Chains A and B, each alone.
Chain A
Amino acid sequence: MSEISMVVNGRSVSATVEDRTLLVHFLREHLGLTGTHVGCDTSQCGACVVHLDGKAVKSCSMLAAQASGSEVTTIEGLADGADLHPVQAAFREHHGLQCGFCTPGMIMAASDMIRRHPDGLDEKTVRAELEGNICRCTGYHNIVKAVLAASKSMAKGKGGKAKKAA
């Protein structure tokens, strides 16, 4: 068993878990944060993407114990209270989701992508960057649109939400 402690969505948590517990299972089963999904078992689909110390990671590909001492943000912690994060808002506005299953991972990956490209994004880059997130519903068309729109709106509001998302 492993003793672990971390900050998840701004809240300190600690627990004793089986050594083999993956971060995603810790989030879902121990903390009840079921917004982070499991869509595969080979770290291909990206439904489980969360932010670990500000960077996007696939929470199925690391042990909970490895995340001990870190700060984790999940989809549940992305919005600022009732105010949606610009990426969340853009996904809704541009119909970047259908069944919603890949959506949390998409949004977490996209917000990290935008953070890493402060000078803006183009379609080709967005498509290449989304290589690690699979969606079966949307054909990516509207996801790409949403990410580009969010990137623009966050660039405009720089110093505000964009900074906070990082």
Chain B
Amino acid sequence: MAMEGIGARVARKEDKRFITGSGSYVDDMVVPGMKHSAFVRSPHAHADIKKIDTKAAEKMPGVIAVLTGKQLKSDGIGNLICGWMVHSKDGSPMNMGAWSPLAVDRARYVGDAVAIVVAETKGQARDAAEAVEVAYKEKKSVTDAVAALKKGAPQLHPEAAGNLIYDWEIGEAAAVDKAIASAAHVTTMRIVNNRLVPNAMEPRAALGHYDRAEDHHTLWTTSQNPHVARVVMSAFYNVAPENKLRVIAPDVGGGFGSKIFIYPEEIVCLWASRRTGVPVKWVADRTESFMCDAHGRDHVSEVQLAFDQNNRMTALKVDTVANFGAYMSLFSSAVPTYLYATLLSGQYAIPQIHCNVRAVYTNTAPVDAYRGAGRPEATYVVERVVETAARELGVSPAELRRRNFITSFPHQTPVIMNYDAGDYAASLDAAMKAADYAGFEKRRDKAKKAGKLRGIGMSCYIEACGIAPSSAVGSLGAGVGLWESAEVRVNMAGTIEVLTGSHSHGQGHETTFAQLVSQRLGLPLDQISIVHGDTDKVQMGMGTYGSRSGAVGMSAIAKALDKVEVKAKKLAAHLMEADEGDIVIENGELKVAGTDKTVPWSQLALAAYAAHNLPEGMEPGLKEGAFYDPTNFTFPAGCYICEVEVDPETGRTEIVQFVAADDFGNIINPMIVEGQVHGGLAQGIGQAMLEGTHYDAESGQLITASYMDYCMPRADDLPSFQVSTSNTPCPGNPLGIKGCGEAGAIGSPPAVMNAITDAIGDNDLTMPATPQKVWAALKAATRH
């Protein structure tokens, strides 16, 4: 049985349906009477809406309704909100502008939804959307966050003067300035973190179905957290009360953060269904995904890292401008503050840190969490500036890092976080060994003889996962608690269903969660089913993001299992006339230790429900629920090393090796963990070398709105990866898990950029380091 339990490399239970084309994604859903929809979207980055004429569209073939923001407002549907309050350093609350699910008076970015057309077919809906006449009065737009802060910049929201959402700080500014003034060396950099489009392969989709007879709403949606969608749509958007709203997120084709948020389209589909009396489906095309999915990153930072004469870090000062786009998305405010600035200590003992963050409205798509959410931005700042410092100081980048590593735990950083466990030198050593770091200079010389430029770069990242505990995030402004819930339901004949509030959209929970149960009860995986993604089946949940499903979601299951075991043992003791304390659960049986007395699990389950012979006072049945609220974040960390070869003739960079050495604490299924790392690395390498989101500065048009313009990593852009893990178990949760979902995307961009800048000798290179940019940098260097 141990073969299927914790630590086993078990093939995934969910794969069968995916490899045979039997998955059920939202676009696959068909309900009787279902109609299709298309959104009318603003073609302008910034424009007043003077008039919307729907008459011609309403007469088009197949059209059922054309609905606008005025109707939406008159039905009392609320504005979209950001659910995390951040206060500026002067104590004032963040300046949140209004975001109507359908723009009423003004459109603020290209793609802003203005109206919805419901029609018999998707084609008819799209044809009619073209016929909706919107009279716009164009206004000047601004897409760059630094430009948006300047005097005279176009203003987006009356609530946010100067486009400033908040001006926030953490740490002691005066102490940091003092340390910098007296430093032996200060490395100063301007660091840009490029804007990315998450690009889950399944475009977002929604199917709203209002049942008039029952006055009940059902929404099928591409969500990472259907329960959060339900409460937000109920409590804030007035779509339907929670008891009249069921949200189902079936198979979801990737999320990477972009499917956490509640978007206008799902609200509008559900409302449109109630208004028209027909189920309304919307499926984004890829261009809509580019225009309207929440983007990620987009920071500009001024950074200073100070050292004493022994090359020990004394202070870090960071001033960041974060582009929030046209509206504040659900968790946007937390990303460049509590998920970013709090990680600026990296793996290093830095006595003083100060970070100032200005969040800014611009005429671009909203920006929110994307794989890593704030932590990639922090890691990029820290690991680029540390590498640069090593070059300036003329010391080994590895040894400069090692000298400054935090080595005793728990460690309180100057920026809130209390690191609980880690061994950063172990990861560094493992990565350097795997990469044959010592042999690099020989490889560089060899490449040089072949006319190629070799470079090597590393990154020692830390991140914070399983965002928690609820009381702490509440005190920092979160609108919700960040626990997870689970129910372990033992069926009458002994099979098990685990109801979890976590949501799987690629992570393999149906397998790993079942492995936990298998480990505990000794039952085979095929007798254990994981139920998730439906608010009617699973009572409560907070969903999947921030690499929380293992550390938080599985811990809730472990707690529920504890309760099931207690009751099962009590009943077994009663049935076998033994002492409760002598009962052990092994291989699907309850045994009296040291005897040959056993009760098979299935028989015990039946006895619990038959209830013919229960201990006095015991209720029939065997199912238990639990909520788990962590005591702290978890802190996965590791070291990544990237080695590149640049062709100076073309500027083309090839990654010749990529090594990842991670500490994720305890691991349930190494195969799945490795897969998570591979995927994260690809996204981080994509950010570093390929992906860039470009808005035209003049018109505000999104230039990169298709796979022909936005360079997604393809198989031939990437190497095979060398991955390994070490383990300092997390002391903060019962399973010792830290989380592995985002590490790859967090740690890899600086490793790549450190390698390329090492190869070409130009440290000003920005992401994405495309062949054109690398070639231009090399040309500029030869001209000097």
Contact = CB atoms under 8 A, between A and B. Distances in A.
Nearest to A107: B19
Contact of B25 (A33, A101, A107): A101
B507 interface: yes
A37 B25 contact: yes
Given A98-B675, A101-B253, A92 B16 contact: yes
Given A95-B671, A97-B15, 18 more contacts: A34-B27, A34-B28, A35-B20, A41-B287, A41-B706, A76-B22, A84-B20, A92-B19, A95-B11, A95-B675, A97-B19, A100-B17, A101-B200, A103-B19, A104-B19, A137-B679, A139-B681, A140-B714
Given A92-B15, A127-B715, A128-B716, A79 B508 contact: no
A76 B23 CA distance: 11
B678 interface: yes
Contacts of A84: 19-20
Contact of A76 (B20, B121, B200): B20
A103 B254 contact: no
Interface string A91-120: 111010111111110010000000000000
A115 B435 CA distance: 36
A126 B680 CA distance: 21
Contacts of A103: 18-19
A27 to B, nearest CB: 10
B712 A134 contact: yes
Nearest to B202: A101
A37 B254 CA distance: 13
A136 B200 contact: yes
A153 to B, nearest CB: 15
Which of A74, A84, A98, A101 is most buried by chain B, counting CB atoms within 10 A of its CB?
Answer: A98
Interface of A: 18, 20, 28, 32-42, 44-45, 47, 74-76, 78-79, 84, 88, 91-93, 95, 97-104, 107, 123, 126-128, 130-131, 133-145
Given A20-B123, A98-B508, A101-B202, A131 B25 contact: no
B531 interface: no
Contacts of A74: 21
Interface in B676-708: 678-683, 706-708
B201 interface: yes
Interface string B634-661: 0000000000000000000000000000
B14 interface: yes
Contact of B252 (A35, A99, A127, A135): A99
Interface in B240-277: 251-254, 256
A38 B122 CA distance: 14
Interface in B172-220: 199-203
A134 B19 contact: no
A76 B713 CA distance: 28
A44 B22 contact: no
Contact of A100 (B123, B253, B715): B253
Nearest to A97: B18
Contacts of B201: 37, 39, 45, 47, 99, 101-102, 134-137
Nearest to A85: B19
B721 interface: yes
5 contacts: A41-B706, A93-B11, A95-B672, A98-B675, A136-B712
Nearest to B121: A18
A79 to B, nearest CB: 6
Interface string B710-737: 0011111010110000000000000000
A140 B714 CA distance: 8
B285 interface: yes
A139 B19 CA distance: 18
B505 interface: yes
Contacts of B403: none
B679 to A, nearest CB: 5
B292 to A, nearest CB: 14
- The CB with the most chain B CB atoms within 10 A, among A79, A128, A141, is that of A141
B12 interface: yes
Interface of B: 11-12, 14-25, 27-28, 30, 121, 123, 199-203, 251-254, 256, 283, 285-287, 505-508, 671-672, 674-675, 678-683, 706-708, 712-716, 718, 720-721, 744
A63 to B, nearest CB: 13
A144 B285 contact: no
A136 B254 contact: yes
B506 A137 contact: yes
Contacts of A41: 285-287, 706
A142 B286 contact: no
Nearest to B20: A79
A20 B507 CA distance: 37
A136 B19 contact: no
A141 B283 CA distance: 30
A40 to B, nearest CB: 4
B678 A138 contact: yes
B15 A139 contact: no
A134 B718 CA distance: 12
A10 to B, nearest CB: 15
Nearest to B685: A139
B706 A142 contact: no
A112 B251 CA distance: 27
Given A92-B11, A136-B201, A98 B720 contact: no
Contacts of A35: 20-23
Contact of B507 (A98, A123, A126): A98
Contacts of A123: 720
Contacts of B674: 95
Contacts of A40: 285-286, 706-707
Contacts of A100: 14-15, 17-19, 23, 251, 253, 506
Contacts of B507: 98
B716 A130 contact: yes
Contact of A98 (B121, B679, B716): B679
A28 B444 CA distance: 53
A41 to B, nearest CB: 5
A135 B678 CA distance: 12
Contacts of A47: 201
A76 B21 contact: yes
A137 B676 CA distance: 8
Nearest to A128: B716
A20 B121 CA distance: 12
Q: Which of B16, B720, B721: most chain A Cβ within 10 A?
A: B720
Nearest to A102: B201
Contact of B254 (A38, A98, A141): A98
Contacts of A95: 11-12, 671-672, 674-675
Contacts of B121: 18
Most chain B Cβ neighbours within 10 Å, of A39, A76, A100 = A100
Contacts of A128: 715-716
A95 B708 CA distance: 28
Q: What 7 A-B pairs come out closest when comparing CB atoms?
A: A35-B21, A101-B253, A100-B18, A139-B682, A99-B506, A75-B21, A44-B707
Nearest to B290: A40
Given A95-B12, A134-B707, A142-B678, A88 B253 contact: no
Nearest to A47: B201
A41 B121 CA distance: 18
A131 B714 contact: yes
A27 B707 CA distance: 24
A136 B256 contact: yes
A134 B671 contact: no
A138 B677 CA distance: 8
B592 to A, nearest CB: 40
Nearest to A90: B19
A100 B25 CA distance: 10
A79 B19 CA distance: 9
A42 B286 contact: yes
Contacts of A18: 121, 123
A135 B675 CA distance: 12
